[in-house]
Structure 1
Amino acid sequence: MDVDTRLLRTFAAVAEDGSLTRAAERLYVSQPALTKQIRQLETLLGVPLFVRSRAGMALTAAGRSLAARVPGLLADWEAALRETRGAASRAGRVLRVGFLASAANEATPGIVAGFTARHPGWRVEMRHAAWSDPTAGLAAGEADAALLRLPFPGQERWRVAGLSVEPRWVALPSAHPLAALEVVPFRELWDEPFVAAPAGTGGWRDYWVAADEREGRPVRIGAVVEHPDDWLSAIANGYGVALAPESTARFYARPGIAYRPVSGVSPSRLAVAWSPADDGDPVVRDFVRCCLDGVAGQR
């Protein structure tokens, strides 16, 4: 029997938290998606793993047996995946760096130049991840380090070094009435449809629609996208507005889209993240140092 490790991670989170709601928040997925995954695992195994009640999710005897094994299984698999892929990249003298759109932006060339100066003969392979993977390849073992916007799913599992803080602006169609303002109060955006990342990114999407800063007002989703080009097209075509780091206005300037500062919303934080297992790796350590130096040089 083959079982997707994603289902085991879901099970482990629910088993630990005893609550679908808390587990969904921690995994940055929707509660219906989490429920579906638990039922899928129970169907595959042919046994009930939880007893559901208003008080939460209690493990059955079978569930307790599985819960004792799963953390070790997942840790071994993740270590094997990371070591296998990492060994291949090290053999080729390649450092794999995942990033999301509007990560380090203008600082990236300086970071890469600083790293290659420290490690002649090495190459930094920048891997652009879709917004459906806010860890930019870290979770899948496809990146040795990643340039990310905080918060991101499973952040507590990784080493994270903060690099910079910048205001969040709004991207909106050039003809939008709010584009006439020099600064847009966030309150004025509460009833606007937003162009957002997939619902499966959970809390990461919530952050970029500022769901916790609306005084309880619901979010309207006008379009769901995974890539910058689709994001830009959706905004230019009038399907919605979107929050973005200030630097996006310079890095993703395009006809039909206006960027304006937003008041009344928290700023965005840029960070570099890597695995704790690589703390002693001089290559990863030097890349982190180059990130710190490179971003500082942009201020």
Structure 2
Amino acid sequence: MDAHLRELRYFVAAAEESTVTAAAARLFVSQPALSKQLRALERRLGFDLFDRRPRGLTLTSQGSVLLPVAREVLAAWDRGYAEARAAAHPHQLVVGMQTAVGRDLQRPAVERFRATLPGWTVSLRLVGWDDPTAGLADGTSDVAFVWLPISTDFATRVLISEPRWVALPAQHPLADRAEIPFELLLDEPFVALPAAAGPLRDFWLAVDARPGPPVVAAEATAADEVLELVTAGVGIALLAEGNTGLYQRPGLVCRPVPDLPPAELAVAWRRIDNRDAVRAFLDSVQP
């Protein structure tokens, strides 16, 4: 019986997190979809991998036997894929981004990297919000600048912590305020990241600070699309303070929201990727 790599990733995440809720958040999938995939895998295997209890998941004896094997298979595949991809472009490092980085991070990092490895080139790749790993998950990026939270499958180093602000259309009734408490925004329609963004979508909707679910007026897969919808009056959106300068445009105003925890910009990489070029770039990134 053959198992797909995706199914093995689901199995490993569920085993390590011990709850479907935590595993689904880690994998950026919905809980029903994850439960369905795990059940389908068990049916094809012919035995249960988990005992499902009110407090979470525990491995069966069969699941305990398969878990280290699944980890080995995934680690071997990830190493092999990274090596095969590197062989196609032996001296190129791909850096993924979800938004414009700015903050004087990217340019000096690239310069230091090239000084360390002069035979290498750096390719910058803008990835939509529907992939919150900015290309790390599917291997199309070697390292990435990302906004947290991100799946624990990836290693991260926080570079900058910034207050969250809100972007409003210039004619909005709150636009004249110097700062806007989040309680005044609770009933406002928001422009959200796509559902595939998982916990990152929740962070930019400030779900943890709400007594109830947010009002979502629209979804967008890129920063420019978010701000176009805001400017058009479709909804409002939270953003990091540093991005208020990067994404200025007529008809848009940004104001601080003082009572929300800050946003964190990080550099991220695959934990198993120990290539010299990846290490050199990480060493080159300095806040």
Report if the CA contact (8 A) 1:105-1:251 is conserved: no
Alpha-carbon deviation of 1:23? Answer: 1.9
Alpha-carbon deviation of 1:97? Answer: 0.8
Please show how residues 32-47 of structure 1 align to structure 2 within 5 Å: 32-42=32-42, 44-45=44-45
Match of residue 206 from structure 1: 202
Amino acid corresponding to residue 231 of structure 1 in structure 2: V
> If each structure's helix is expressed as a fraction of its own residues, which one has the higher value?
1
2: CA distance, partners of 1:168 / 1:83: 39
1: CA distance, partners of 2:63 / 2:28: 23
State the secondary structure of the residue aligned to 2:88: helix
2: CA distance, partners of 1:213 / 1:280: 40
Structure 2 segments unaligned to the other structure (5+ residues)? none
Report if the CA contact (8 A) 2:131-2:196 is conserved: no
Residue range with higher mean Cα deviation, 185-194 or 96-105: 96-105
Alpha-carbon deviation of 1:218? Answer: 2.2
Q: Alpha carbon RMSD of aligned pairs, Å? A: 2.5
Amino acid corresponding to residue 147 of structure 1 in structure 2: F
Match of residue 176 from structure 1: 172
Q: Are residues 1:110 and 2:108 paired? A: yes
Report if the CA contact (8 A) 1:102-1:247 is conserved: no
Match of residue 84 from structure 1: 84
Alpha-carbon deviation of 1:112? Answer: 2.3
Q: Percent identity?
A: 43
Alpha-carbon deviation of 1:124? Answer: 0.8
Alpha-carbon deviation of 1:121? Answer: 4.0
Report if the CA contact (8 A) 1:102-1:245 is conserved: no
Residue range with higher mean Cα deviation, 112-121 or 196-205: 112-121
Report if the CA contact (8 A) 1:115-1:286 is conserved: yes
Match of residue 192 from structure 1: 188
1: CA distance, partners of 2:104 / 2:233: 28
Aligned residues: 287
Q: Are residues 1:274 and 2:269 paired? A: yes
Report if the CA contact (8 A) 1:96-1:125 is conserved: yes
2: CA distance, partners of 1:251 / 1:195: 19
Residue range with higher mean Cα deviation, 45-54 or 237-246: 45-54
Q: Which of 223, 229, 237 pairs up with 1:242?
A: 237
1: CA distance, partners of 2:238 / 2:22: 26
2: CA distance, partners of 1:228 / 1:83: 32
2: CA distance, partners of 1:17 / 1:182: 43
Residue range with higher mean Cα deviation, 3-12 or 270-279: 270-279
1: CA distance, partners of 2:274 / 2:75: 17
2: CA distance, partners of 1:3 / 1:117: 44
Report if the CA contact (8 A) 2:188-2:236 is conserved: yes
State the secondary structure of the residue aligned to 1:254: coil
Q: Are residues 1:72 and 2:72 paired? A: yes
State the secondary structure of the residue aligned to 1:247: helix
Measured against aligned partners, the alpha-carbon deviations of 1:227-284 in whole angstroms (never above 9, x if no partner) come to 2232222222323211111121111112232211111011122221223444461x33
Are residues 106 and 178 of structure 1, via their aligned partners in 2, closer, same or farther at CA, if it must alter by over 3 Å? Answer: farther
State the secondary structure of the residue aligned to 1:259: strand
Residue range with higher mean Cα deviation, 3-12 or 123-132: 3-12
Structure 1 segments unaligned to the other structure (5+ residues)? none
Measured against aligned partners, the alpha-carbon deviations of 1:80-139 in whole angstroms (never above 9, x if no partner) come to 1122213333x2x21111111143455323332333344334221001111121111222
Report if the CA contact (8 A) 1:28-1:204 is conserved: no
Match of residue 123 from structure 2: 125
2: CA distance, partners of 1:290 / 1:58: 42
Are residues 99 and 2 of structure 1, via their aligned partners in 2, closer, same or farther at CA, if it must alter by over 3 Å? Answer: farther
2: CA distance, partners of 1:6 / 1:226: 23
Q: Are residues 1:21 and 2:21 paired? A: yes
Amino acid corresponding to residue 97 of structure 1 in structure 2: V
Please show how residues 44-59 of structure 1 align to structure 2 within 5 Å: 44-45=44-45, 48-59=48-59
Match of residue 138 from structure 1: 136
Alpha-carbon deviation of 1:60? Answer: 5.0
2: CA distance, partners of 1:235 / 1:163: 28
